[in-house]
Amino acid sequence: MQQGDSTEAQVTWEDQQNINRFGRLNNRLHELQDEIKLAKETNENLDDAGNELILSDEDVVRFQIGEVFAHMPRDDVETRLEQMKEDAAKKLERLEEEKESVLAQMAELKKILYGKFKDAINLEED
């Protein structure tokens, strides 16, 4: 707004805290989006590994533990793979819930900040 404009809203300490909080939430949203993308890729990779295991007729298969491949019985690999799938699905669900929470908090802050500052503030991403 222009210097002499009488409709200029004063930024209080509380307003600045809300603006800062919105910025932190926006950063967390971007981090969550990246983590969700990675978790979805992990889920797909685990599903692919499970499908490959089904197609395999080997009794002993190679299973990667960290950076090392170990020969393990097929039943042990199936058990581990199912546990890994469950863990990955839970992680993805937790990330999605946190994303929804962040979006709700951001919407509330937008309502407050746009209510006070109207067109003088831009909280939208281009």
| Of 58 and 96, the one with more pLDDT | 96
Q: Residue 69 pairs with which residues in a beta bridge?
A: 64
- Structural domains of the chain in order of their starting residue, each with its CATH number: 13-117 (1.10.287.370)
- Rounded Cα distance, 86 and 42, in Å: 12
Which pLDDT does position 2 carry in this prediction? 44
Asked whether residue 3 carries a pLDDT value surpassing 50, the answer given is no
Average pLDDT over residues 62-77: 92
Band (pLDDT 50/70/90 cuts) for residue 4 is: very low
Question: What are 9-24's pLDDT values in tens digits?
Answer: 788 999 999 999 999 9
pLDDT at 1: 42
Distance CA 61, CA 71 (A): 5
Q: What is the mean pLDDT of the chain?
A: 91
CA torsion sign for 34, 35, 36, 39 is: positive
Query: Which string of b and e fits 24-36 if b means at least 16 CB within 10 Å?
Result: ebeebbeebeebb
Rounded to the nearest angstrom, the gap between the alpha carbon of residue 1 and the centroid of all alpha carbons in its chain is 36
